[in-house]
């Protein structure tokens, strides 16, 4: 192992402390709008959104939650929006893997903030990519009006939800909606554009305009129950398929429907009986340096993630700053592309060698990775990217060696990959390295971060110095001089602001990643992701034009 016992213990303590901090924040997020708001829901005879999901899901089955940190520390002037006001994740209902999306009525009555829309669209995207059934548990007051301009009219805003309803229907993806509380205005289209629309009597209601708006618009006096309650919409209008006396009976009907679905597609990914890693996965805490600049053996991490700790490297002695190879995770065959954080000796033409920095992508590494990605597509093997990357190598030697060309080759091969891709941000994720290693912009089926992740255009120290130079030039242009003391204070302020923006919390709050996870959950996330992806057909692979 690359670390001394003292270093291992220090890393273990600090990394576990980082995960403890994540869990503490999640415990608060899971309370939604708080005890008072939860009590009001209970008084109405309603289950809370997480209770609904727990009741609906198969007991003792896997569940991975998407976007728990969505909205974290955002919208303080509006009282916050824990988990984006909606709970979403991959789970099993009547033995069938599906996406579940449930509005949290304790958060502003389930109203849609901008991040709520983004999270709902992400849930639909996962369902569409993987041809998964999707279940909506609707309990929402509609668009959050004080921020309507940021959620209503654009392509990735509220209206896209209903467009996706229509597209999924045409794709043959099952959609089931249960109206378990308010469902108003444009939001009323979501359940009705689903295959099955259910409602809970007395607590559920669905209409384009509530009683107050109807009174203001046309002068009619009518109560909400008469306007759009369970009896009206299931027995008179026919908008809803069936009504139920309470939440549990409605959820029971969803389980009954899910039990009758036809078999899903099989994409043909190889899977054998799963085996635990021979190397102890808990060692990851001690292997991963708490100092993001320190080198370590990425292979030691890989051996603790894969079945039987068996990993067959591809071109082991070439392009050493990226590790490529074949393995199995929870029985699934995978191709792994990982940034090697060790210093590596690289052979040059003529037989001489040079040292290469760990975590940096060089031309030979990019070339190797591109070829490996194409091979995995040829063999129908899902890809797993393990990110700890500071970027591509710079300087005259790299430019003359064609680093841009080789980097473009890797990005092209990865971008056009049609086998499912999964990204784990273990440590640094900087600049173009984030792109080449399948960052969020490149459509990984799932992308998660460990608590040790750092995501930014460049490292904090370098960025802060660049930003300081810009600030100094701005002050000088105004005829202002900056003292050494003021310069240090300004650098500290810039550094702190930048560092805050590189944390996994900042990324997860904006859904740049789907979750912050315990490294020991990595195998589960990858396995659940591949199981989901196996239900969608794989398209033919074509990389287009690549410079060689």
Q: What is the mean pLDDT of residues 191-212?
A: 93
pLDDT at residue 400, rounded to an integer: 64
Beta strand extents in 131-245 (DSSP E only) = 134-140, 175-184, 196-200, 205-207, 242-244
- Residue partners of 435: CB distance under 8 A and separation at least 6: 411, 441, 442
**pLDDT over 50 (residue 213):** yes
Band (65; pLDDT cuts 50, 70, 90):
very high
Three-state SS for 272-318 is: CCCCCCCCCHHHHHHHCCCCCCCCCCHHHHHCCCCHHHCCEECCCCC
Of 102-116, 208-222, 286-300, 330-344, minimum mean pLDDT range: 208-222
Helix boundaries (H) for 44-177:
49-56, 114-130, 160-171
- Residue partners of 86: CB distance under 8 A and separation at least 6: 49, 70, 101, 102, 103, 104, 110, 116, 119, 120
**pLDDT over 60 (residue 154):** yes
Q: What is the mean pLDDT of residues 232-248?
A: 96
Cα–Cα distance for residue pair 28/314, rounded to 1 Å: 44
DSSP 107: T
pLDDT at residue 394, rounded to an integer: 67
Cα–Cα distance for residue pair 103/292, rounded to 1 Å: 38
Q: What is the mean pLDDT of residues 383-401?
A: 83
pLDDT at residue 351, rounded to an integer: 66
**pLDDT over 80 (residue 67):** yes
Q: What is the mean pLDDT of residues 137-166?
A: 92
Token pair listed for 384 = 């797993």
Would you call 262 exposed, middle or buried from its count of C-beta atoms within 10 A (0-12, 13-18, 19+)?
A: exposed
Share of the chain above pLDDT 70, in %: 96
**pLDDT over 60 (residue 365):** yes
Cα–Cα distance for residue pair 29/83, rounded to 1 Å: 6
pLDDT at residue 71, rounded to an integer: 98
**pLDDT over 60 (residue 187):** yes
pTM for the model stands at: 0.94
Q: What is the mean pLDDT of residues 98-109?
A: 97
Coil, strand or helix: which one is 267?
coil
Coil, strand or helix: which one is 90?
strand
pLDDT at residue 3, rounded to an integer: 52
Q: What is the mean pLDDT of residues 427-438?
A: 95
Q: Give me the sign of the Cα torsion angle 451, 52, 192, 263.
A: positive
- The mean pLDDT of the chain is 92
Of 90-94, 403-407, 527-531, 536-540, minimum mean pLDDT range: 403-407
**pLDDT over 50 (residue 385):** yes
**pLDDT over 50 (residue 2):** no
pLDDT at residue 26, rounded to an integer: 98
**pLDDT over 50 (residue 380):** yes
pLDDT at residue 8, rounded to an integer: 95
- Residue partners of 221: CB distance under 8 A and separation at least 6: 211, 215
- Is-contact 108 143, C-beta < 8 A? no
């Amino acid at each position: 192992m690359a670390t001394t016992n003292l270093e291992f213990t220090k890393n273990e303590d600090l990394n576990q402390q980082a995960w403890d901090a994540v869990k503490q924040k999640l415990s608060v997020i899971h309370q939604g709008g708080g005890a008072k708001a939860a009590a009001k829901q209970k008084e109405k005879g309603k289950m809370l959104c997480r209770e609904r999901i727990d009741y609906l899901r198969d007991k003792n089955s896997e569940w991975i939650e998407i976007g728990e940190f969505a909205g974290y520390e955002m919208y303080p002037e509006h009282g916050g929006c824990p988990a984006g006001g909606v709970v979403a994740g991959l789970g099993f209902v009547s033995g069938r893997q599906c996406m579940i999306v449930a509005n949290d009525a304790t958060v502003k009555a389930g109203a849609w903030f901008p991040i709520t829309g983004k999270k709902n669209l992400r849930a639909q995207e996962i369902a569409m990519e993987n041809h998964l059934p999707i279940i909506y548990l609707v309990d929402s007051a509609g668009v959050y009006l004080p921020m309507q301009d940021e959620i209503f009219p654009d392509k990735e805003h509220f209206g896209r939800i209903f467009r996706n309803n229509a597209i999924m229907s045409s794709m043959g993806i099952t959609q089931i909606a249960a109206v378990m509380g308010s469902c108003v205005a444009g939001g009323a289209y979501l359940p009705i554009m689903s295959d099955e629309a259910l409602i809970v009597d007395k607590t559920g209601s669905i209409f384009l305009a509530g009683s107050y708006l109807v009174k203001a618009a046309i002068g009619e006096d009518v109560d909400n129950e008469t306007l759009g309650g369970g009896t009206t919409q299931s027995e008179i209008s026919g908008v809803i398929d069936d009504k139920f006396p309470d939440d549990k009976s409605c959820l029971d009907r969803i389980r009954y429907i899910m039990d009758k679905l036809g078999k899903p597609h099989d994409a043909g990914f190889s899977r054998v009986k799963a085996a635990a890693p021979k190397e102890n996965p808990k060692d990851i805490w001690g292997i991963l340096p708490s100092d993001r600049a320190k080198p370590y053996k990425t292979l030691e991490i890989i051996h603790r993630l894969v079945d039987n700790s068996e990993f067959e490297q591809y071109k082991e002695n070439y392009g050493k700053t990226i590790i490529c190879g074949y393995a199995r995770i929870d029985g699934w065959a995978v191709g792994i592309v990982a940034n090697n954080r060790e210093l590596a000796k690289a052979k040059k033409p003529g037989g001489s060698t040079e040292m290469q920095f760990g975590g940096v992508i060089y031309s030979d590494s990019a070339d190797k990775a591109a070829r490996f990605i194409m091979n995995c597509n040829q063999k129908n093997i899902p890809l797993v990217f393990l990110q700890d990357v500071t970027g591509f190598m710079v300087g005259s030697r790299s430019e003359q060696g064609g680093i841009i060309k080789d980097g473009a080759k890797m990005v092209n091969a990865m971008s056009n990959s049609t086998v499912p891709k999964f990204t784990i941000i273990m440590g640094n994720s900087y600049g173009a390295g984030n792109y080449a290693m399948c960052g969020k912009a490149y459509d990984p089926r799932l992308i998660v971060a460990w608590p040790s992740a750092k995501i930014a255009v460049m490292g904090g120290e370098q960025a802060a110095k660049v930003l300081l130079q810009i600030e100094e030039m701005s002050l000088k242009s105004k005829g202002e001089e900056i003292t050494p003391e003021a310069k240090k204070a300004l650098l500290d302020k810039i550094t702190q602001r930048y560092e805050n923006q590189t944390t996994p919390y900042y990324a997860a709050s904006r859904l740049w990643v789907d979750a912050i996870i315990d490294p020991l959950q990595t195998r589960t996330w990858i396995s659940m992701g591949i199981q989901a992806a196996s239900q969608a057909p794989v398209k033919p692979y074509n990389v287009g034009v690549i410079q060689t």
